[in-house]
């Protein structure tokens, strides 16, 4: 049988069909590892991990490094064999069969559409001239609120206009995890931050980006000294790094799309902190300038658990 080369190229180039809400809510676990690529089952597992306090990063339905590391974190906390592979025991511990819907309906409000930033320049000096480094799209704002990848949110809702009154489907990650942190382990090899209470139990576990060989994260043990919500960012090329060739000191305005996102947790090691990021989808693929980056929603959750004096151990 002869196959047209043009047809073959088009077939290979055509994107896979987007997942539908029904495919996600009706997904069931029938054994084995999570499917390769994107699947409704992986969306469901990511949401259940998030509800359990073990963040998968952005909810996007793709099997990948962040989801595997989250499974490992959940297995560790539950006392299961730690291999990062989905199995019947993990599914049962997540409450999979009885978990109910992992998506919810949401109607877009005028408030959602308000307080957006027209555009954010690339140059650090131009950013410093702005009033805020806010969300530039309602889809970006809503994706972060519901812990989702923005492209996945858009694809899940087909031709939705995302205007006021539009009803959309979003992930349902559940309420914010609560607890009192006593110690944090930043595990450099696995790129996870693990939060422990005073009894040594794991409260939460988050994916993070850490420093590179050129700009490494701290070593050893430090402490939390302060927590700032919606912080400004002090750009000091004399101490940290030079960006865009700008050599003067600047103060960048606050906002979720700022260099440190929506939260700064200051550490006793000068100039270092735990903070958010404007690019949550790139979190597990990128390196920081030495600080520890979280998604904005994860570090916001953490901010309510920590206080001055909490120990942060950097584990090699």
Q: Is residue 249 part of a domain?
A: yes
Each residue of 84-128: pLDDT tens digit? 999 999 999 999 999 999 999 999 999 999 999 999 999 999 999
Q: What average pLDDT does the structure give for the chain? A: 92
Q: How confident is the model at residue 83 (pLDDT cuts 50, 70, 90)?
A: very high
Task: Please tell me whether residues 166 and 203 are part of one structural domain.
Answer: no
Task: Please tell me whether residues 86 and 218 are part of one structural domain.
Answer: no
Which two structure tokens, joined as six digits, stand for 173?
Answer: 């990650």
Domain that holds residue 57: 17-175
> Is residue 75 scored above 90 in pLDDT?
yes
Measured between its terminal Cα atoms, the distance across the chain in Å is 57
φ/ψ of 207, rounded to 5, equals -75, 145
- CATH of residue 54's domain is 1.10.101.10
pTM score over 0.75: yes
**Boundary of a domain, candidates 132, 152, 175:** 175
Task: Please tell me whether residues 146 and 192 are part of one structural domain.
Answer: no
Q: Is residue 27 part of a domain?
A: yes
Q: What angle do CA 208, 269, 215 make, to 5 degrees?
A: 55
Q: What is the total count of domains within the chain?
A: 2
Q: Is residue 9 part of a domain?
A: no
Task: Please tell me whether residues 111 and 223 are part of one structural domain.
Answer: no
* 120 Cβ contact list (under 8 Å, min separation 6): 127, 130, 133, 136, 257
- CATH of residue 198's domain is 2.40.440.10
Q: Is residue 7 part of a domain?
A: no
Each residue of 262-296: pLDDT tens digit? 999 999 999 999 999 999 999 878 778 789 999 99
Q: What angle do CA 220, 222, 228 make, to 5 degrees?
A: 140
Q: pLDDT value at position 215? A: 80
Q: Is residue 25 part of a domain?
A: yes
| CA–CA distance, 156 with 153 (Å, rounded to integer) | 5
Task: Please tell me whether residues 139 and 216 are part of one structural domain.
Answer: no
Q: Is residue 12 part of a domain?
A: no
Q: How confident is the model at residue 12 (pLDDT cuts 50, 70, 90)?
A: very low
Task: Please tell me whether residues 149 and 226 are part of one structural domain.
Answer: no
Q: Is residue 1 part of a domain?
A: no
In the three-class reduction of DSSP (H, G, I as helix; E, B as strand; rest coil), residue 154 is classed as helix
Task: Please tell me whether residues 199 and 94 are part of one structural domain.
Answer: no
Q: How confident is the model at residue 229 (pLDDT cuts 50, 70, 90)?
A: very high
Task: Please tell me whether residues 127 and 190 are part of one structural domain.
Answer: no
Please identify every residue annotated as catalytic.
Answer: 275, 291
Task: Please tell me whether residues 154 and 220 are part of one structural domain.
Answer: no
Q: Is residue 3 part of a domain?
A: no
Q: pLDDT value at position 99? A: 94
**Boundary of a domain, candidates 152, 175, 198:** 175
Q: How confident is the model at residue 9 (pLDDT cuts 50, 70, 90)?
A: very low
| CA–CA distance, 108 with 157 (Å, rounded to integer) | 13
> Is residue 1 scored above 50 in pLDDT?
no
Task: Please tell me whether residues 224 and 244 are part of one structural domain.
Answer: yes
Task: Please tell me whether residues 92 and 224 are part of one structural domain.
Answer: no
Which two structure tokens, joined as six digits, stand for 131?
Answer: 């009033």
**Nearest-10 crossing angle of helices 138-145, 296-303:** 50
Residue 244's alpha-carbon distances to 48, 49, 122, 249, 257, in angstroms, are: 41, 39, 9, 13, 17
Q: What percent of the chain has pLDDT over 70?
A: 95
- Is pLDDT larger for residue 189 or for residue 244? 189
Q: pLDDT value at position 300? A: 98
| CA–CA distance, 121 with 114 (Å, rounded to integer) | 20
| CA–CA distance, 234 with 271 (Å, rounded to integer) | 10
**Boundary of a domain, candidates 175, 208, 228:** 175
Q: How confident is the model at residue 130 (pLDDT cuts 50, 70, 90)?
A: very high
Q: Which residue has the tokens 């043990």?
A: 221
Task: Please tell me whether residues 160 and 230 are part of one structural domain.
Answer: no
């Amino acid at each position: 049988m002869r196959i047209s080369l043009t047809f073959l190229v088009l077939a290979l180039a055509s994107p896979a069909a987007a997942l539908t809400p029904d495919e996600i809510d009706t997904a069931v676990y029938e054994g084995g590892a999570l499917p390769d690529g994107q699947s409704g089952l992986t969306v469901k597992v990511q949401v259940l991990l998030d509800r359990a306090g073990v963040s998968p990063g952005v909810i996007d339905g793709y099997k990948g490094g962040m989801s595997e590391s989250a499974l490992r974190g959940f297995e560790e906390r539950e006392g299961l064999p730690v291999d990062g592979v989905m199995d019947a025991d993990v599914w049962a511990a997540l409450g999979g069969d009885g978990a109910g819907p992992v998506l919810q309906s949401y109607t877009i409000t005028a408030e959602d559409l308000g307080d957006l930033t027209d555009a954010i320049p690339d140059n650090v000096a131009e950013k410093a001239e702005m009033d805020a480094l806010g969300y530039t799209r309602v889809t970006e704002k809503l994706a972060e609120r519901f812990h989702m990848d923005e492209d996945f949110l858009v694809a899940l809702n087909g031709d939705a206009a995302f205007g006021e009154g539009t009803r959309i489907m979003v992930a349902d990650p559940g309420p914010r995890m609560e607890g009192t942190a006593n110690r944090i382990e930043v595990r450099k090899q696995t790129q996870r931050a693990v939060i422990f209470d005073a009894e040594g139990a794991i409260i939460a576990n988050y994916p993070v980006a850490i420093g590179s060989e050129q700009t490494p994260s701290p070593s050893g043990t430090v402490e939390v000294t302060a927590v700032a919500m919606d912080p400004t960012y002090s750009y000091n090329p004399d101490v940290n790094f030079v960006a865009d060739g700008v050599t003067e000191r600047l103060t960048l305005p606050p906002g979720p799309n700022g260099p440190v996102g929506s939260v700064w947790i200051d550490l006793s090691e000068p100039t270092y902190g735990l903070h958010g990021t404007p690019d949550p989808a790139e979190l597990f693929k990128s390196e920081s300038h030495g600080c520890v980056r979280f998604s904005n929603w994860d570090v916001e959750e953490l901010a309510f658990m920590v206080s001055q004096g909490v120990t942060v151990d950097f584990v090699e």
